[in-house]
Amino acid sequence: MSDLTRTTAWAALQQHQHAIAPLHLRDLFARDPGRFERFSLQAGPLFLDYSKNRITDETLTLLLALARESQLPEWIERLFRGDRVNGTERRAALHTALRHRDHSPVLLDGTDVMPDVRRVLDQMRRFSESVRSGEWRGYTGQPITDVVNIGIGGSDLGPAMVVSALDADCGPLRLHFVSNVDGADLSLTLRRLNPAQTLFVIASKTFTTQETLLNARSARDWFLAQAGNPSHVARHFVAVSTHRDEVVRFGIDPAHMFEFWDWVGGRYSLWSAIGLPIALAIGMDRFDALLTGANEMDEHFRHSPLARNMPVLLGLLGVWYTNFFGAQTHAILPYDQGMHRFVSHIQQVVMESSGKNVTRDGRPVSCATGSVVWGGPGTNGQHAYFQLLHQGTPLIPADFLAPIESRTPLGEHHRVLLSNFLAQPEALMRGKTAQEVRVELERAGLKGDDIERLLPHRCFSGNRPSNTLLFQKLDARTLGALIALYEHKTFVQSVVWDINAFDQWGVELGKQLARDLLSELSGMPARAPHDASTSGLLDHVRKRLPSA
């Protein structure tokens, strides 16, 4: 692909941005009564209003031209077709096959992957149902009451987020997630549990991930301190992995190893056997509903025209603000307490995918490729960082997400929640003019110098863009669609920016250095010299480190 910033579409967007930048959203709405109807759409269980963006019909026309010039339709088809879109690792990115719902084949190098996918789903169903029903017993003959998932990154963030979001559907098992190599994470979890009634799910593709295996071995030591006999490990530890030999060496029965494949990237893996803790928490029927919601979004993304395609539109709007308005962050603000871990998962999906500084063919990128994703539950944020959104100097596009119907209705709580949810995007869009503030202060009885003193502090410019996503209720199907929406949005942006969304080499350097530093903390000589800062810190720590 030629340099993106030298394309005809890019040049047209730059010129258009200069023309549209002075326009205010409140004026665009005043001039165009049909703006909401034209700039909103439904996809599966999700309704998107994107009318509060600093765009016109011409903006969308130009953004869609950029998408076509970037060959986005061809790349979408390549993704679903099983082409090796992950060029540096020479792999497909076929996570969509994991939630494929009909009986048609999904081919990878001419072989249908669906028989293997269905085999593992069937294995997950049998196992999760036996544990949830109490048929599966621990070494003392007691049923399992608690499940501890030990993983990191995609093996933790996605499953933990889904279980948290669908908490109302969980039971009878209690789910716990351990990922941090800080011993407090595992220790605080284990001290509440009975080893005889605890099941551990060890999630590691290669079964060599340092943090995961250290936590897994410590969990096994804790278990054996009471169980005694190492043969009991087989009733209390299962693995999600591809490395049978390492799983057996750990002491896990290979019959209780749940397979997934190298065409499943970590941040896209909750749809695979990595989702076993989800099935244990909410049951396999609801896990299937999660897959169904994601598949609905897959079908929408693959087959809908670009101009009415939800992931495409959200992706292009992100390009618009990142590359033409200089926005460096993006806020995701769910108005549902169950979604308090949603942003953490989407952070990984977006920032691990878009954090690239070279194109697919290895050339330095010519524009910004991604933004910092942050946020959290909206009502809490209103009393914290929303001040920055409303009156701060950065432009921060935001996504507001909310269910129309609460899963846990309580008096007027949900109506109050929704009123706040609807008010914040309106306030960001409208702002408050000096004249409006002046009238407000006069009505409050202030006069003269008091008004002039307060006036600049009480004004805010508005014209802050946002998207609004509504859904009837947060259930498994809806959550699946939401996650897939952000996955595909991220892919759209990677295509436009000509970067590989499916590798993550940036995380490897720190891992390599940590292995060397671990041996040095134990007194071994350095394999290679460090900079003065690292050497000084290492020496400072070693002198004060308690003996093992």
Evaluate the omega torsion of the peptide bond into residue 172 and state whether it is cis, within 30 degrees of 0.
yes
Distance (Å, whole) CA 386 – CA 388:
5
- Strand order of the β-sheet with 198-203 is 174-178, 146-150, 198-203, 237-240, 257-258
Taking the CB of residue 153, how many other CB atoms lie within 10 A of it? Answer: 19
Distances (CA, A) of 319 to 79, 98, 165: 20, 28, 29
Q: Is 432 a catalytic residue?
A: no
Q: What Cα–Cα distance (Å) separates residue 111 from each residue in 82, 108, 454?
A: 10, 5, 70
CB 112 within 8 A of CB 140: no
Per the annotation, the verdict on 352 as an active-site residue is yes
User: Does the annotation mark 543 as catalytic?
Assistant: no
How far apart (Å, rounded) are the C-alpha atoms in residues 366 and 183? Answer: 43
Alpha carbon of residue 263 to chain centroid? 18
Spatial CA neighbour of 431 closest among 390, 483, 374:
390
Sign of CA dihedral 430, 431, 436, 441: positive
- Tokens standing for residue 308: 């009415």
| Cα 311 to Cα 56: distance, rounded to the nearest angstrom | 19
Nearest-angstrom CA–CA distance, 143 and 198 = 9
The alpha-helical segments, DSSP class H, found in 147-275 are 157-165, 183-190, 210-227, 233-236, 244-250
Q: What is the CB neighbour count within 10 angstroms for residue 407? A: 17
According to DSSP, the β-strands at 198-203 and 174-178 are unpaired
Q: Which of 18, 383, 457, 543 is catalytic?
A: 383
Quote the CA–CA distance of 342 and 460 in Å, as a whole number. Answer: 30
HEC per residue, 309-341: CHHHHHHHHHHHHHHHCCCCEEEEEECCHHHCC
Nearest to 345 by CA among 414, 403, 271, 398: 271
Annotated catalytic residue: which of 303, 413, 473, 511?
A: 511
Closest CA to 334 of 345, 320, 326: 345
For 275, the token pair is 């989702």
Helix, strand, or coil here: 541?
helix
- Give me the phi and psi of 257, to 5 degrees please: -105, 130
Q: Which of 296, 352, 487, 520 is catalytic?
A: 352
Nearest CA to 275 out of 114, 79, 479, 109 is that of 479
Return the ∠ at Cα 9 (arms to 56 and 27), rounded to 5°. 15
Q: Would you name the residues annotated as active-site residues? A: 352, 383, 511
